[in-house]
Amino acid sequence: MAEHSARRPLIGVTAGTTRLMSGAWEGHEAVVLTEHYVAALRAAGARPVILAPQDPWTDEEIAELDGLVLTGGTDLDPALYGASALPSDFAPDRDRDAFEVAAYHAARRAGIPVLGICRGLQLIAVAEGGTLHQHLAEDLPRHPASAARVTEVEVAIDAASDVALAVGTVATVPAYHHQGVADCGEGLRVVARHASGLALALEARDGSPVVAVQWHPELTAAEAAGEGIVSAFVATAARAPRVPGPRPLV
């Protein structure tokens, strides 16, 4: 009997857009995603598919995926969680916000696993009715992370969590952000924090698996705190039964 190679889990990976600043295509919009996400997912045995915000996916199309990764990027539109813009905010990408919120809810309805990374964690929290700290330098000055550089941050992780199964109960992780979750919403629970009190990882309370981290595991895919998160997610996507999450109200 001929041997067949195992099917790689098909993972949707969200991307942003930026205006090209040089070359023949200067001034044109480009779909962008750092290569780290693709490399980390491929190394874990997945087949990444880039999802551009200009191309909304239907529930049926999202259901064809084995998992969804919501990636890092610019700040969310504060109007999504009832706040006003601050001078410290980065310019939002409202089309991407709407695309990713819809994709997240579709993934929950379809019962496919979701991994949120940095902005992805914040988007998941807001999609579940939560709110954000808009500028940690003012709201939680003890938190060392910033949007100016990648910063090593220590995180304490709840032993009774999927994150702990992947990386242990204490880890040092690369963070790159100036905002964070203030309230994660009713459908999620905080499973990791920094000593400042900031939530650094969230998981769904019920339904299909949702893991979200406020650090960048794709940057350290060869190390425990990175490889463990990405590999655990891909393994979950490869074997997880379709268990739909709570249907959103909007």
233-244 burial code (b ≥16 CB/10 A, e <16): bbbbbbebeeee
* Cα–Cα dist 161/73, whole Å: 26
Q: Which domains does the chain have, with CATH numbers?
A: 10-15+29-239 (3.40.50.880)
Q: In the prediction, which pLDDT does 4 show? A: 46
Nearest in space to 217 (alpha carbons), one of 178, 173, 177, 179: 173
Q: Which of 36, 177, 178, 216 is catalytic?
A: 216
Quick one: CA dihedral 209, 229, 233, 73, positive or negative? positive
* Residue 216 among the catalytic residues: yes
For residue 188, which of 166, 168, 169, 214 has the smallest C-alpha distance? 214
CB 15 within 8 A of CB 197: no
Annotated catalytic, 29?
Answer: no
DSSP state, 40? H
Q: Which of 100, 203, 218, 227 is catalytic?
A: 218
Given 100, 118, 143, 194, the catalytic residue = 118
What's the token pair of residue 73? 């990027």
What angle in degrees, to the nearest 10, is found between the helix axes of 35-43 and 224-239?
60
Is residue 218 part of the annotated active site? The answer reads: yes
Question: Could you read off the pLDDT of 6-57 as tens digits, one per residue?
Answer: 789 999 999 988 777 667 776 677 888 999 999 999 999 999 999 999 889 9
Residue 18's CB: how many other CB atoms inside 10 A?
13
Sole residue written with tokens 């199309």: 61
Q: How much is the pTM?
A: 0.92
- What is the secondary structure of 201-219 as a DSSP string? EEEESSSS-EEEESS-GGG
pLDDT of res. 30 = 81
Two tokens at 103? 């994709």
Q: Please give the single-letter amino acid code of residue 47.
A: R
Q: Tokens at residue 135, please?
A: 């500028």
CB-CB contact of 120 with 218 (8 Å): no
What is the predicted pLDDT for the residue at 226? 53
Computed over its alpha carbons, how large is the radius of gyration of the chain? Answer: 17
Cα–Cα distance between 134 and 116 in angstroms, integer? 18
Alpha-carbon distance of 203 to 121, in angstroms, equals: 10
pLDDT of residue 21: 67
Ranges of the chain whose pLDDT falls below 70: 1-5, 21-22, 26-27, 221-227, 240, 246-250
Which two three-digit tokens encode residue 213?
Answer: 């981290």
